[in-house]
């Protein structure tokens, strides 16, 4: 089976289900025949999520303490939420760090093995990102640490600066944490879909930026 072919009929839960990457991922997974549950904060986001082929589920990951109910029975969970650039340090903790860790706890409690997280370049060295980025990168670093120590079948994806450019289907993935660059959100979603279908990516942490290697090939080479 080519590495890009996800296991048919997976049930995937995406935290941050109305995010830009998440919506791309929902389309890709739904088109490939998977069932996707998108955790969102507002009923206003229902139609976008449904249009992308996913089932909207209201779940504010900051308000909920236990996400077990939302992930129970899934084959995989993806953490694609983020407090966003307009938020202060406190929400980096409550969303980017604690949201990801709550999802880890829920996956462990309910026996969901597969966990994929959208982290960030620079999460390996929060101090190196400068004072402004530090709270964000610290939150991402702590989340990644919790994921890596979870005992789950995890993959940590660290994209470079995100753009809304159309995806090219070609990327660079590297374990060189000093690599820097930009990457379209659509290509991040393609990589996440490929990762979900490729057990060889389990236990891997990598930087993802634009490049010239087809997504499937790049993920297969991890
Ligand atoms: N910007 C960059 O250059 C960059 C680089 C590397 C990595 N990243 C990371 O990539 C990830 C995804 O990026 P993106 O552009 O797809 O982000 P996005 O469009 O901002 O999506 C993030 C989603 O998280 C949701 N969210 C926030 N708080 C929540 C809560 N309490 N409960 C449930 N959902 C909540 C938001 O919901 P609402 O719509 O309700 O606010 C939003 O839909 C983020 O983790 C980001 O930090 C970003």
Q: Is the CB of 18 under 6 A from ligand 1?
A: yes
Evaluate: CB of 60 within 6 angstroms of ligand 1. yes
pTM summary value: 0.97
Per-residue exposure over 36-54, b if at least 16 CB sit within 10 Å of its own CB, e if not: bbbbbbeeebbebbeebbb
8 pLDDT above the threshold of 80? no
Residue 161 CA, ligand 1 centroid: distance in Å: 13
Residue ranges covered by each domain of the chain: 3-220
What residue spans of 56-97 are helical by DSSP H? Answer: 68-71, 89-91
| 70 catalytically annotated | no
The residue to mutate among 15, 19, 118, having the most atoms of ligand 1 within 8 angstroms of its beta carbon, is: 19
Q: How far is the CA of 115 from the centre of ligand 1 (A)?
A: 17
What mean pLDDT value characterizes the chain?
96
Q: Ligand 1 centre from 219 Cα, in Å?
A: 23
- Please, which pLDDT band fits residue 47 given cuts at 50, 70 and 90? very high
- Summarised one tens digit per residue, pLDDT across range 108-156 is 999 999 999 999 999 999 999 899 999 999 999 999 999 999 999 999 9
Q: How many CB atoms lie within 10 A of CB 69?
A: 11
- Superfamily of domain covering 3-220: NAD(P)-binding Rossmann-like Domain (3.40.50.720)
Residue range 17-29, pLDDT digits in tens: 999 999 999 999 9
């Amino acid at each position: 089976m080519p590495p890009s072919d996800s296991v048919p009929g997976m049930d995937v839960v995406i935290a941050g289900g109305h995010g830009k990457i998440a919506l791309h991922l929902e389309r890709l997974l739904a088109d490939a025949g998977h069932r996707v549950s998108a955790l969102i904060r507002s009923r206003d986001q229902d139609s976008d999520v449904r249009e992308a082929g996913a089932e909207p589920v209201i779940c504010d990951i900051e308000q909920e303490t236990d996400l077990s109910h939302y992930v129970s029975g899934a084959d995989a969970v993806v953490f694609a939420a983020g407090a966003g650039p307009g938020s202060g340090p406190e929400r980096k903790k409550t969303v980017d760090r604690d949201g990801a860790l709550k999802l880890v706890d829920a996956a462990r409690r309910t026996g969901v093995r597969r966990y994929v997280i959208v982290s960030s370049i620079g999460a390996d060295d929060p101090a190196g990102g400068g004072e402004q980025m530090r709270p964000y990168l610290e939150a991402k670093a702590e989340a990644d640490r919790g994921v890596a120590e979870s005992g789950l079948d995890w993959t940590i994806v660290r994209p470079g600066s995100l753009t809304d450019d159309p995806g090219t289907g070609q990327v660079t993935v590297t374990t060189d944490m000093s690599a820097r660059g930009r990457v379209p959100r659509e290509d991040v979603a393609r990589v996440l879909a490929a990762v979900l279908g490729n057990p060889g990516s389990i236990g891997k942490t990598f930087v993802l930026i634009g490049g010239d290697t087809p997504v499937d090939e790049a993920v297969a080479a991890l």
